[in-house]
Amino acid sequence: MTNFRAIHIALLSSLALAGLAATGCHKKDASPAGPAMQGLPVQTAAVELQPVARTSEYVATIKSRRSATLQPQVSGQLISIRVKSGDHVRAGQIVMEVDPRQQQANVASLRATERQKKALADYDASDLVRQSKLFEAGVVSRQVYELAQQAADNAKADYEAAVESRKTQEQSLGYYTIRAPFDGIVGDVPVHVGDYASPSTMLTTVDENKDLEAYIYIPTERTADVRMGLEVELTDNNGQPLEKTRIDFVSPEVDTNLQGILVKAPVHGSAETLRTAQMVKARVVWDTKPAAVAPVLAVVRQGGQPFVFVMVQQGGHFFASQVAVTLGDTVGNLYAVDSGLKPGDKVIVSGTQFLVNNMPVIPLPAGPPPAAPGAH
């Protein structure tokens, strides 16, 4: 380590001399032993206060407000599949068909029974008319008339029951044809023609690819911070921005499995590029407050700990003072600094890889920071 520091300081001396030569600074009274070590020319930037958003990043799942899982209401063999995954369907469009032949036979049988009941009801109604006339003429007794009336009422009730039974089975016959509940996009179709389907069989899904929402689970330790209207920045997995939105739903309950609070944010502008069940990144902005910021170029890391070099002046000379910092979020090419710096501090933004603590430096005029050594 000692040899490395010696080589490091020797290299700094060479760079300092080169910097002095470049700026036209020459030492006229150099001693016979050679020039004394000079400061390293560096550029600095003043630490400023800027509005910095305090954020947390989570994984969000995109879901449609209108999403349906299609399952048959009857059991039977699939005889027709008229769509494939990704198809756009209209409301009421036929998606699949279950073999309806047995149900069609049941309906036909009930129609025949209905006709039979109607014929009997018509006969009993005519007989009641005849018995009524005979009773009024004194030909038959009241008991005979009342029996005819009872028979007519029973036959009418039987006929009406047959009609309703036929209607019920005809309605059930419609369940053998599975239709799209609304306009949307067909999802995966895991079944095939010939498969036996029951009410528990998942046939496919239909999702309306608009009115999308981002489902975000916020950890319970953030309960006090979660509220309606918080800004949410959605990005894809490559960090490319999708759109900005705001939370419009906060669940009153905690999900016991995920130990998180479900919040939702509407997705409008990216509906054409997003799909239901797609996962994206969601950055929730808790608040925005003024904070000290420093250029990204000023930050160096040693053993995972971030540091900056602050230029300090002592006795007319300038030195690089190494300061440990706590970093927050990035704001463009700046780091928010939670601790370690204060507004007005001058951080060194060039040659930081050659600096050591308390090393002499020479401030250069303000301008764009030079490229790192070896950069092209």
pTM of the predicted model, to two decimals? 0.58
What's the confidence (pLDDT) of residue 266?
A: 93
Question: Is the pLDDT score of 31 beyond 80?
Answer: no
Mean pLDDT of the 325-339 span: 86
Mean pLDDT of the 19-23 span: 43
What's the confidence (pLDDT) of residue 37?
A: 54
> How do residues 225-239 score in pLDDT, each as one tens digit?
999 999 999 998 888
Q: Tell me which H or E stretch contains 83.
A: none
Mean pLDDT of the 29-58 span: 74
Domain-wise residue ranges, the chain: 2-52+290-363, 56-67+208-289, 69-96+179-207, 100-175
Q: Looking at residue 220, what DSSP letter applies?
A: G
Measured on CA atoms in the order 155, 157, 161, 166, is the torsion positive or negative?
A: positive
- Token pair, residue 89, equals 């369907």
The residue behind tokens 């509220």 is 227
What's the confidence (pLDDT) of residue 373?
A: 41
**Distance, CA of 158 to CA of 117 (rounded, Å):** 6
**Distance, CA of 207 to CA of 67 (rounded, Å):** 4
**Distance, CA of 23 to CA of 39 (rounded, Å):** 13
> How do residues 292-330 score in pLDDT, each as one tens digit?
899 999 999 988 899 999 999 988 899 999 999 999 877
Mean pLDDT of the chain: 85
The residue behind tokens 């540091």 is 307
CA distances from 138 to 127, 146, 147, 306, 364 (A): 16, 14, 16, 117, 133
Fold classification of 56-67+208-289 is: Elongation Factor Tu (Ef-tu); domain 3 (2.40.30)
Question: Is the pLDDT score of 16 beyond 80?
Answer: no
Please name the residues in contact with 128: beta carbons below 8 A apart, sequence gap of 6 or more: 148, 149, 151, 152
Q: Is 100-175 in CATH node 1.10.20? A: no
Most confident of 5-14, 98-107, 265-274, 359-368: 98-107
Fold classification of 2-52+290-363 is: 2.40.420
Mean pLDDT of the 260-289 span: 87
- Matching CATH number, 69-96+179-207, of 3.40.50.2300, 2.30.110.10, 2.40.50.100, 1.10.10.10: 2.40.50.100
Mean pLDDT of the 77-81 span: 96
